[in-house]
Structure 1
Amino acid sequence: MFYWLMKRVFVGPLLHLVYRPWIRGEQNIPSQGAAILASNHLAVIDSFFLPLMLDRELVFIGKQEYFSGRGVKGRLTAGFMRGVGTIPVDRGGGKASEAALRTGLRRLEEGDLFGIYPEGTRSPDGRLYRGKTGVARLALESGAPVIPVAMIGTNVAQPLGRTIPKIMRIGMVVGEPLDFSRYKGMENDRFILRSVTDEIMYAIMSLSGQEYVDVYAATQKARIAAGVADAQPADTEPRTAAPGGRPAPDVQVPVPPKDEGEPSVG
């Protein structure tokens, strides 16, 4: 109930009015049945705008810190995240991360939509980073299709460190579903998991037009924090233009529609 009140009555109408969000490819999201929405992750507001534009309820996993903040701001954030169904995940890995993925799997088994950011954390610089294989495990264990999504402009509206996003149009592009049923029963094969993850990340890259960096975003953030200003992969790491060593797709970053009559839902 809280989810729909926030979307339809309190927060949703205001976001529509102020940011005029746009979406392309929403017809690729099934009207019923389980599906995994795998998105790039540019800003905190990704988790607000994508669900806003869909007719169906979409639940993401979110970092544990969103639920453990102190003070008024921390309590409000935690309450909002719980209200919209966000599933807390300990990004340190191990049993805590496994529990979050199991929660997502149960949601898929119930025929619902589940959102995940394969990069594991927000991009530090707007580029697309190496995907973690949790999304592949979910896809193979659940049998649900993976729908790639590209968020557009959220990093410009809300760069790291900014709380209130600046006013500008926010967009998203939804790709065609990816079917990995050919790998059924192979969810414990790490090479298959990496291959599936790279295919998903390539699809996201093909929608977003982002430059790809073949390291984990968390690793890159640690390098930046340590003073590595150029934010490039280490010289000892292989360079690749796109996930899985593929050539980079010839795609430009999508732009907002010129025609205000372009349909949007939500």
Structure 2
Amino acid sequence: MIYRLLKYVFLGPLLRLMFRPRIEGMEHIPDSGRAIVAGNHLSFTDHFVMPAILPRRITFLAKAEYFTGPGLKGRLTAAFFRSVGQIPVDRSGGKASQAAVTAAIEVLERDELLGIYPEGTRSHDGRLYRGRTGVAVMALRAQAPVIPCAVLGTFELQPPGRRFPRIGRVTIRFGEPLDFSRFFGMDEQRYVVRSVTDEIMYAIMALSGQEYVDRYAGEVKAEQAALAQAGGGRLRRKPH
């Protein structure tokens, strides 16, 4: 009920007014049945724009930090994501991520839409980064098609560090569904899930026109943060 209220009464109309979304390829979204919508991730705004324009309900995987933030802001954020049925993802990998995979497959087995950002985190510089293989595991286990998606314009309207988005136009572009039925039953083969993930990322890149970086965005962010911290430390130690 809260999802419908936000979509049709409160948040949806506001987002349409602010971003005047241009939709391309909506015919690729099935009217019924399971499917994974896999998109690029440029801005916090992405979490709201796509659900607002899709005629069907979509459940997104969202990083666990949105559900565990401190203070009033953290509690409000967690309440919002829970109220609209989003699934928290522990991004530390391994067994910690399995609960999210299981929950995502349950969504697909109910013949619903699942949304995922294969990069695992927002792009800090507007480029497209290497995809995590969870999307492939979910697609193969649930035997679901993957619909690539590119959201354009949100990075410029709300880049990292900006609290509120600017008003401007956003384009949401859906590609033809990707059929991986030839790989069903092979979700435990490392080279297969890597190949499927790379095919999904290539389709997203073709839709978005972004420069592709064959590295995980989280690793690049961590390296840059470490370099910035080291540089700041050297400056503080520099004699007058």
Normalised by the length of structure 1, the TM-score is 0.84
Once structures 1 and 2 are overlaid, which stretch shifts more, 66-75 or 52-61?
A: 66-75
1:56 alignment partner AA: R
Report runs of 4+ in structure 1 exceeding 3 Å deviation.
none
Q: Size of the alignment, in residue pairs?
A: 228
1:31 counterpart SS class: coil
Q: Which residue of 2 aligns with 1:210?
A: 210
Matches within 5 A, 1:179-218: 179-218=179-218
Once structures 1 and 2 are overlaid, which stretch shifts more, 155-164 or 32-41?
A: 155-164
Let me know the Cα RMSD of the aligned residues.
1.0
Matches within 5 A, 1:57-76: 57-76=57-76
Find the aligned partners of 1:138 and 1:171 in 2 and give their Cα distance.
27
The C-alpha deviation readout for 1:193-231, integer Å capped at 9, x for no partner, is: 111001000000000000000000001101211237xxx
Q: Which residue of 1 aligns with 2:52?
A: 52
Matches within 5 A, 1:5-44: 5-44=5-44
Find the aligned partners of 1:170 and 1:104 in 2 and give their Cα distance.
27
1:23 alignment partner AA: I
Q: Which has the higher helix share?
A: 2
1:226 counterpart SS class: helix
1:128 aligns with 2:128: yes
Q: Which residue of 2 aligns with 1:236?
A: none
Normalised by the length of structure 2, the TM-score is 0.93
Q: Is the 8 A contact 1:124 1:220 kept in 2?
A: no
Q: Is the 8 A contact 2:89 2:97 kept in 1?
A: yes
Find the aligned partners of 2:138 and 2:18 in 1 and give their Cα distance.
35
1:48 alignment partner AA: F
1:141 alignment partner AA: R
1:133 alignment partner AA: T
Task: Work out the percentage of aligned pairs sharing the same amino acid.
Answer: 59
In structure 2, runs of 5+ residues without a counterpart are 229-240
Q: Which residue of 2 aligns with 1:104?
A: 104
2:10 counterpart SS class: helix
